[in-house]
Amino acid sequence: MLRFLIRRLLIALPTMLLIATLAFGLLHATPGGPFDSAKRIAPAIQRSIEAKYHLNEPLWRQYGRYLGDLAHGDLGPSFQYRDTSVNELIRQGLPVDALIGSLAMTFAIVLGGFFGIIAAVRRGSAWDHIPMFFAALGIAVPVFVIGPLLILLFAIQLHWLPAGDWEPGAVRFLILPVISLGFPYAAYIARMTRSEMIDVLGSPFIRTAWAKGLPKRTILLRHALRPVLTPLVSFLGPAFAGVLTGSIIIESVFGLPGIGRYFVTGAINRDYTLVVGITVLYGALIIGFNLVTDMCYAWLDPRVRLHT
């Protein structure tokens, strides 16, 4: 296992480099620059701004400079928010996304897993059809409809919950965003869990256990759960990373100070450092979670031999 871990970490470094390069290259290839605006700017000032952000240097040198900073953990200044650095923006925004994201995933796993299993066990009954109907809905109805609908109901009509805003530590601001963000994932998980569970329940070894007279609960929790978890875990890996970098829609609907919005407005405003910085962060998270995921594969399914 240790060799596996080391090998993966060694591969991770060039991967991160590749990610950073790809993001850097793509952004610079996109037409338009960060300081294009509808205002006219005197050439001397344009030159000065470009010098300050090293935009007047040849691309390879900018790239080298960026990598050097990256090695020190410095993601550079933001081109959009001229008083702030990318590190600062991420430091401010990431905790919000992390909190909401992890709560949303927990909500999704618990809700989705629970209903998925029950639907599989009581297949064909109301316990199957009704949750699966809602699951289909959860996948079909976009987040930018769920969010405003919840606001309409709970904030505007009932005044039970705030329509948005954020205060660290205050629970009431978390409820609607977590539900809006988590519900589509709960739907995916419910469907997937159900289908995998049905698969497993029909397999010979479960039938054997059943024939042996093992109690239903033991069968379910001890034997059936493991194989179900494999595809689930491989779905969760990238889903976690996606959720963590923030759903831009959730952030804009609820006015949350996360980094997902920076990403899109950064791309639109060509904030090179911000977008590349978030991409690198995203990359690191994905690689990290993939590692965890693959280790879980091995633990869950002993038949998979980890090639070292």
**Region 102-141 residues binding other proteins, contact defined as CB under 8 A:** 129, 132-133, 135-137, 139-141
Identity of residue 155: A
CB of 226 to other proteins, least distance (A): 11
CB of 100 to other proteins, least distance (A): 13
Q: Which is nearer to other proteins, 104 or 278 (CB)?
A: 278
Binding of residue 1 to other proteins (CB under 8 A): no
Binding of residue 253 to other proteins (CB under 8 A): yes
Cβ atoms of 75 and 85 within 8 Å: the answer is yes
Stretch that binds other proteins, among 63-71, 100-108, 210-218, 265-273 (CB under 8 A): 265-273
Q: Which residues contact 236 (CB under 8 A, 6 or more apart)?
A: 105, 109, 289, 293
Residue from 56, 106, 125, 203 touching other proteins (CB under 8 A): that is 203
Q: Which is nearer to other proteins, 224 or 286 (CB)?
A: 286
Report helix, strand or coil for 144.
helix
What is the residue-wise DSSP string for 157-215?
IS--S-SS---TT-THHHHHHHHHHHHHHHHHHHHHHHHHHHHHHTSHHHHHHHHHT--
**Per the structure block, which two tokens stand in for 22?**
């790809």
CB of 140 to other proteins, least distance (A): 4
Nearest C-alpha neighbor of 226 from the set 126, 121, 149, 301: 301
Nearest C-alpha neighbor of 259 from the set 293, 282, 237: 282
CB of 106 to other proteins, least distance (A): 21
Residue from 84, 106, 125, 208 touching other proteins (CB under 8 A): that is 84
Residue from 152, 170, 221, 292 touching other proteins (CB under 8 A): that is 152
Residue from 65, 82, 122, 216 touching other proteins (CB under 8 A): that is 82
